[in-house]
Amino acid sequence: TRHFLTDLDLSPAEQAEVLDLAAAMKADRYGYRTYAGPAGAGTAASKTVAVIFDKTSTRTRVSFAAGIADLGGNPLIINPGESQIGHKESVADTARVLERMVHTIVWRTYAQAGLEEMARYSAVPVINALSDDYHPCQLLADLLTVREHHGRTAGLTLAYLGDAANNMANSYLLAGVTAGMHMRVAGPDGYLPGEAVVAAARERAQATGGSVLVTTSAAEALDGADVLATDTWVSMGQEDEKADRADVFRPYAIDEAALATAAPGAIVLHCLPAYRGYEISAGVIDGPQSVVWDEAENRLHAQKAIMHWLMVQSGLLEATSPA
Protein backbone atom coordinates (compact mmCIF):
# COMPACT_ATOMS: atom_id res chain seq x y z
CA THR A 1 0.00 0.00 0.00
CA ARG A 2 1.34 3.42 -0.95
CA HIS A 3 0.71 6.41 1.31
CA PHE A 4 1.35 10.16 0.93
CA LEU A 5 2.46 11.35 4.35
CA THR A 6 5.35 13.62 3.40
CA ASP A 7 6.60 15.14 0.16
CA LEU A 8 9.41 12.59 0.09
CA ASP A 9 6.92 9.76 -0.41
CA LEU A 10 7.01 10.52 -4.15
CA SER A 11 10.29 10.05 -6.01
CA PRO A 12 11.15 12.77 -8.54
CA ALA A 13 9.81 10.61 -11.40
CA GLU A 14 6.64 9.78 -9.47
CA GLN A 15 6.01 13.40 -8.58
CA ALA A 16 6.30 14.32 -12.27
CA GLU A 17 3.90 11.50 -13.18
CA VAL A 18 1.31 12.70 -10.65
CA LEU A 19 1.64 16.29 -11.88
CA ASP A 20 1.19 15.12 -15.50
CA LEU A 21 -1.95 13.26 -14.44
CA ALA A 22 -3.20 16.32 -12.55
CA ALA A 23 -2.77 18.44 -15.69
CA ALA A 24 -4.64 15.85 -17.76
CA MET A 25 -7.44 15.71 -15.19
CA LYS A 26 -7.63 19.51 -15.17
CA ALA A 27 -7.97 19.54 -18.99
CA ASP A 28 -10.87 17.07 -18.76
CA ARG A 29 -12.42 17.68 -15.35
CA TYR A 30 -15.33 15.25 -15.60
CA GLY A 31 -13.61 12.73 -17.88
CA TYR A 32 -12.02 10.57 -15.19
CA ARG A 33 -14.71 8.48 -13.47
CA THR A 34 -12.23 6.01 -12.07
CA TYR A 35 -13.94 5.80 -8.65
CA ALA A 36 -17.37 5.09 -10.15
CA GLY A 37 -17.05 1.33 -10.44
CA PRO A 38 -18.43 -0.82 -13.28
CA ALA A 39 -21.05 0.83 -15.47
CA GLY A 40 -24.52 0.02 -14.24
CA ALA A 41 -23.37 -1.13 -10.82
CA GLY A 42 -24.47 2.15 -9.24
CA THR A 43 -23.00 3.79 -6.20
CA ALA A 44 -22.64 0.42 -4.44
CA ALA A 45 -19.56 -0.30 -6.52
CA SER A 46 -18.05 3.15 -6.24
CA LYS A 47 -15.13 4.12 -4.02
CA THR A 48 -15.61 5.87 -0.68
CA VAL A 49 -12.93 8.14 0.73
CA ALA A 50 -12.94 9.16 4.40
CA VAL A 51 -11.72 12.73 4.86
CA ILE A 52 -11.05 13.51 8.53
CA PHE A 53 -10.50 17.02 9.92
CA ASP A 54 -8.95 17.64 13.34
CA LYS A 55 -8.28 21.25 12.25
CA THR A 56 -10.46 23.69 10.34
CA SER A 57 -10.34 23.93 6.54
CA THR A 58 -11.97 25.50 3.52
CA ARG A 59 -9.86 24.55 0.49
CA THR A 60 -8.84 21.08 1.60
CA ARG A 61 -12.36 20.12 2.61
CA VAL A 62 -14.01 21.40 -0.56
CA SER A 63 -11.31 20.22 -2.97
CA PHE A 64 -11.31 16.68 -1.62
CA ALA A 65 -15.12 16.49 -1.51
CA ALA A 66 -15.50 17.88 -5.02
CA GLY A 67 -12.57 15.85 -6.37
CA ILE A 68 -13.87 12.55 -5.01
CA ALA A 69 -17.28 13.37 -6.52
CA ASP A 70 -15.63 14.23 -9.88
CA LEU A 71 -14.03 10.78 -9.88
CA GLY A 72 -17.43 9.20 -9.27
CA GLY A 73 -16.70 8.28 -5.66
CA ASN A 74 -18.31 9.15 -2.34
CA PRO A 75 -16.68 11.68 -0.02
CA LEU A 76 -17.24 10.95 3.66
CA ILE A 77 -16.26 14.05 5.62
CA ILE A 78 -15.65 13.36 9.32
CA ASN A 79 -15.26 16.13 11.90
CA PRO A 80 -13.58 15.27 15.22
CA GLY A 81 -16.48 16.11 17.53
CA GLU A 82 -18.71 13.74 15.56
CA SER A 83 -16.54 10.60 15.74
CA GLN A 84 -14.68 8.51 18.32
CA ILE A 85 -11.29 9.29 16.76
CA GLY A 86 -8.76 10.76 19.14
CA HIS A 87 -10.79 10.80 22.32
CA LYS A 88 -12.57 7.44 22.61
CA GLU A 89 -10.58 5.26 20.20
CA SER A 90 -6.94 4.89 19.22
CA VAL A 91 -5.60 5.74 15.78
CA ALA A 92 -4.67 2.07 15.22
CA ASP A 93 -8.17 0.83 15.96
CA THR A 94 -9.65 3.57 13.79
CA ALA A 95 -7.44 2.46 10.91
CA ARG A 96 -8.43 -1.18 11.41
CA VAL A 97 -12.10 -0.24 11.11
CA LEU A 98 -11.84 2.28 8.28
CA GLU A 99 -9.72 0.05 6.02
CA ARG A 100 -12.56 -2.49 5.98
CA MET A 101 -15.04 0.10 4.68
CA VAL A 102 -13.34 2.86 2.72
CA HIS A 103 -10.82 2.91 -0.11
CA THR A 104 -8.60 5.79 1.01
CA ILE A 105 -8.18 7.77 4.25
CA VAL A 106 -7.40 11.49 4.06
CA TRP A 107 -6.54 13.12 7.38
CA ARG A 108 -5.76 16.68 8.54
CA THR A 109 -4.31 16.47 12.02
CA TYR A 110 -1.66 17.78 14.42
CA ALA A 111 1.09 15.20 14.95
CA GLN A 112 2.84 13.59 12.00
CA ALA A 113 3.22 10.49 14.21
CA GLY A 114 -0.55 10.04 14.12
CA LEU A 115 -0.50 9.83 10.33
CA GLU A 116 2.35 7.34 10.45
CA GLU A 117 0.38 5.20 12.88
CA MET A 118 -2.74 5.37 10.72
CA ALA A 119 -0.69 4.27 7.69
CA ARG A 120 0.94 1.43 9.63
CA TYR A 121 -2.45 -0.14 10.39
CA SER A 122 -4.22 0.68 7.12
CA ALA A 123 -4.28 -1.50 4.01
CA VAL A 124 -5.72 1.43 2.05
CA PRO A 125 -3.76 4.60 1.16
CA VAL A 126 -3.47 7.32 3.81
CA ILE A 127 -3.04 10.91 2.63
CA ASN A 128 -1.74 13.78 4.78
CA ALA A 129 -4.15 16.70 4.35
CA LEU A 130 -1.87 18.88 6.57
CA SER A 131 -0.08 18.10 9.78
CA ASP A 132 2.03 20.27 12.07
CA ASP A 133 5.04 19.22 9.98
CA TYR A 134 3.99 18.92 6.33
CA HIS A 135 1.34 19.92 3.77
CA PRO A 136 2.26 17.74 0.77
CA CYS A 137 -1.07 18.05 -1.08
CA GLN A 138 -0.63 21.82 -1.14
CA LEU A 139 2.79 21.42 -2.71
CA LEU A 140 1.43 19.31 -5.56
CA ALA A 141 -0.97 22.16 -6.31
CA ASP A 142 1.81 24.73 -6.02
CA LEU A 143 4.10 22.82 -8.38
CA LEU A 144 1.29 22.38 -10.90
CA THR A 145 0.78 26.15 -10.75
CA VAL A 146 4.49 26.83 -11.28
CA ARG A 147 4.48 24.50 -14.29
CA GLU A 148 1.47 26.30 -15.76
CA HIS A 149 2.98 29.78 -15.42
CA HIS A 150 6.68 29.08 -16.02
CA GLY A 151 6.39 25.97 -18.21
CA ARG A 152 8.66 23.91 -15.95
CA THR A 153 9.92 23.53 -12.41
CA ALA A 154 13.50 22.24 -12.80
CA GLY A 155 16.14 24.94 -12.55
CA LEU A 156 13.79 27.64 -11.24
CA THR A 157 14.48 29.45 -7.96
CA LEU A 158 11.72 29.60 -5.35
CA ALA A 159 12.02 31.90 -2.33
CA TYR A 160 9.84 31.13 0.69
CA LEU A 161 9.74 33.89 3.32
CA GLY A 162 8.24 34.02 6.80
CA ASP A 163 7.68 31.19 9.26
CA ALA A 164 10.38 28.90 7.93
CA ALA A 165 9.82 26.33 10.68
CA ASN A 166 6.22 25.48 9.77
CA ASN A 167 4.55 22.78 7.70
CA MET A 168 4.62 24.79 4.47
CA ALA A 169 8.33 25.59 4.76
CA ASN A 170 9.15 21.92 5.28
CA SER A 171 7.01 20.84 2.36
CA TYR A 172 8.42 23.55 0.09
CA LEU A 173 11.93 22.33 0.83
CA LEU A 174 11.21 18.66 0.17
CA ALA A 175 8.79 18.95 -2.75
CA GLY A 176 10.71 21.80 -4.35
CA VAL A 177 14.01 19.96 -4.59
CA THR A 178 12.14 16.85 -5.72
CA ALA A 179 10.96 18.98 -8.66
CA GLY A 180 14.55 20.09 -9.33
CA MET A 181 14.13 23.62 -8.00
CA HIS A 182 16.60 25.84 -6.18
CA MET A 183 14.91 26.40 -2.84
CA ARG A 184 15.66 29.44 -0.70
CA VAL A 185 13.99 29.60 2.67
CA ALA A 186 14.25 32.76 4.80
CA GLY A 187 12.99 33.41 8.29
CA PRO A 188 14.10 34.84 11.63
CA ASP A 189 16.42 33.00 13.98
CA GLY A 190 14.42 30.44 15.91
CA TYR A 191 11.96 29.99 13.04
CA LEU A 192 14.17 28.17 10.54
CA PRO A 193 13.64 24.57 9.34
CA GLY A 194 15.01 21.71 11.44
CA GLU A 195 18.28 20.00 10.57
CA ALA A 196 16.65 16.71 9.56
CA VAL A 197 14.41 18.33 6.95
CA VAL A 198 17.26 20.40 5.53
CA ALA A 199 19.50 17.33 5.34
CA ALA A 200 16.78 15.30 3.62
CA ALA A 201 16.18 18.12 1.14
CA ARG A 202 19.90 18.44 0.38
CA GLU A 203 20.19 14.72 -0.19
CA ARG A 204 17.31 14.70 -2.64
CA ALA A 205 18.59 17.84 -4.36
CA GLN A 206 21.74 15.95 -5.31
CA ALA A 207 19.67 13.58 -7.42
CA THR A 208 17.62 16.28 -9.16
CA GLY A 209 20.01 19.18 -9.65
CA GLY A 210 18.10 21.32 -7.16
CA SER A 211 19.64 23.09 -4.18
CA VAL A 212 18.83 24.39 -0.71
CA LEU A 213 19.63 27.74 0.90
CA VAL A 214 18.47 28.52 4.44
CA THR A 215 19.04 32.11 5.53
CA THR A 216 17.87 34.84 7.89
CA SER A 217 18.27 37.38 5.07
CA ALA A 218 15.05 38.08 3.18
CA ALA A 219 17.04 40.01 0.55
CA GLU A 220 19.34 37.06 -0.11
CA ALA A 221 16.38 34.75 -0.65
CA LEU A 222 14.46 37.17 -2.85
CA ASP A 223 17.27 38.24 -5.18
CA GLY A 224 16.22 37.33 -8.73
CA ALA A 225 13.85 34.53 -7.61
CA ASP A 226 11.37 33.14 -10.16
CA VAL A 227 8.74 32.20 -7.61
CA LEU A 228 7.95 33.88 -4.27
CA ALA A 229 5.94 32.12 -1.61
CA THR A 230 4.77 32.80 1.90
CA ASP A 231 2.26 31.52 4.44
CA THR A 232 0.51 32.80 7.52
CA TRP A 233 2.77 33.76 10.40
CA VAL A 234 0.32 32.11 12.83
CA SER A 235 -0.47 28.51 11.96
CA MET A 236 -3.42 26.60 13.34
CA GLY A 237 -2.69 25.82 16.99
CA GLN A 238 -0.39 28.87 17.45
CA GLU A 239 -3.12 31.48 17.95
CA ASP A 240 -1.82 32.44 21.42
CA GLU A 241 1.51 33.60 19.94
CA LYS A 242 -0.06 35.96 17.42
CA ALA A 243 1.13 39.31 18.79
CA ASP A 244 4.76 38.21 19.28
CA ARG A 245 4.96 36.61 15.89
CA ALA A 246 3.82 39.68 13.98
CA ASP A 247 6.84 41.64 15.28
CA VAL A 248 9.38 38.91 14.63
CA PHE A 249 8.26 38.17 11.08
CA ARG A 250 7.69 41.72 9.82
CA PRO A 251 10.99 41.90 7.80
CA TYR A 252 9.91 38.79 5.87
CA ALA A 253 6.67 40.19 4.46
CA ILE A 254 6.13 39.88 0.72
CA ASP A 255 5.25 43.41 -0.30
CA GLU A 256 5.87 45.58 -3.37
CA ALA A 257 9.47 46.31 -2.33
CA ALA A 258 10.24 42.61 -1.91
CA LEU A 259 8.63 41.72 -5.22
CA ALA A 260 10.69 44.37 -7.02
CA THR A 261 13.89 42.49 -6.15
CA ALA A 262 12.66 39.17 -7.59
CA ALA A 263 12.98 38.21 -11.27
CA PRO A 264 10.88 40.44 -13.57
CA GLY A 265 8.41 37.66 -14.44
CA ALA A 266 8.23 36.24 -10.92
CA ILE A 267 4.97 34.72 -9.74
CA VAL A 268 3.66 34.82 -6.18
CA LEU A 269 2.18 31.85 -4.31
CA HIS A 270 0.27 31.70 -1.03
CA CYS A 271 -1.49 28.54 0.11
CA LEU A 272 -4.22 30.67 1.77
CA PRO A 273 -5.90 31.72 3.97
CA ALA A 274 -3.94 34.99 3.68
CA TYR A 275 -3.69 37.91 6.09
CA ARG A 276 -3.26 41.04 3.98
CA GLY A 277 -0.93 43.54 5.62
CA TYR A 278 0.92 40.83 7.51
CA GLU A 279 2.80 38.15 5.52
CA ILE A 280 1.68 39.61 2.18
CA SER A 281 0.53 43.06 1.10
CA ALA A 282 -2.85 43.57 -0.53
CA GLY A 283 -1.09 45.08 -3.55
CA VAL A 284 0.92 41.92 -4.14
CA ILE A 285 -1.71 39.26 -3.49
CA ASP A 286 -4.31 41.15 -5.52
CA GLY A 287 -1.77 42.23 -8.15
CA PRO A 288 -0.83 40.88 -11.59
CA GLN A 289 2.00 38.59 -10.43
CA SER A 290 -0.16 36.74 -7.92
CA VAL A 291 -1.34 33.29 -9.02
CA VAL A 292 -2.99 32.33 -5.74
CA TRP A 293 -6.44 31.58 -7.20
CA ASP A 294 -4.97 29.20 -9.79
CA GLU A 295 -3.02 27.66 -6.91
CA ALA A 296 -6.20 27.20 -4.86
CA GLU A 297 -8.05 25.65 -7.81
CA ASN A 298 -5.15 23.30 -8.43
CA ARG A 299 -5.74 21.63 -5.08
CA LEU A 300 -8.72 19.96 -6.73
CA HIS A 301 -6.84 18.62 -9.75
CA ALA A 302 -3.69 17.64 -7.87
CA GLN A 303 -5.59 15.72 -5.20
CA LYS A 304 -7.69 13.84 -7.73
CA ALA A 305 -4.42 12.78 -9.33
CA ILE A 306 -2.69 11.69 -6.11
CA MET A 307 -5.79 9.81 -4.87
CA HIS A 308 -6.12 7.95 -8.16
CA TRP A 309 -2.39 7.30 -8.45
CA LEU A 310 -2.02 5.89 -4.92
CA MET A 311 -4.89 3.47 -5.47
CA VAL A 312 -3.41 2.28 -8.76
CA GLN A 313 0.03 1.87 -7.17
CA SER A 314 -1.54 -0.04 -4.28
CA GLY A 315 -3.24 -2.47 -6.64
CA LEU A 316 -6.70 -1.25 -5.65
CA LEU A 317 -7.61 0.35 -8.99
CA GLU A 318 -6.82 -0.45 -12.60
CA ALA A 319 -7.39 2.17 -15.25
CA THR A 320 -5.31 5.33 -15.56
CA SER A 321 -7.10 6.56 -18.66
CA PRO A 322 -10.29 8.66 -18.82
CA ALA A 323 -13.48 6.59 -18.52
Residue 58 binds which of ligand NVA, ligand CP, none (CB < 5-8 A, kind-dependent):
ligand CP
- Report the residue from 272, 275, 297, 316 that binds ligand CP according to the rule CB under 6 A: 272
Is 128 among the residues that bind ligand NVA (CB under 6 A)? Answer: no
Residue 118 binds which of ligand NVA, ligand CP, none (CB < 5-8 A, kind-dependent):
none
Segment 131 to 170, residues that bind ligand CP, using CB under 6 A: 138
| 299 flagged as catalytic | yes
Is 84 among the residues that bind ligand CP (CB under 6 A)? Answer: no
- Nearest CB to ligand CP, comparing residues 64 and 309: 64
Is 58 among the residues that bind ligand CP (CB under 6 A)? Answer: yes
- Report the residue from 5, 119, 129, 168 that binds ligand NVA according to the rule CB under 6 A: 168
| 182 flagged as catalytic | no
Segment 206 to 235, residues that bind ligand NVA, using CB under 6 A: 231-232, 235
Segment 248 to 277, residues that bind ligand NVA, using CB under 6 A: 271
Is 236 among the residues that bind ligand NVA (CB under 6 A)? Answer: yes
Nearest residue to ligand NVA, by Cβ distance, number only: 235
Neighbours of 41 (CB within 10 A): 10
Q: How far is the CB of 167 from ligand CP (least distance, A)?
A: 9
| 271 flagged as catalytic | yes
Is 298 among the residues that bind ligand CP (CB under 6 A)? Answer: no
Catalytic annotation, residues: 108, 135, 138, 231, 271, 299
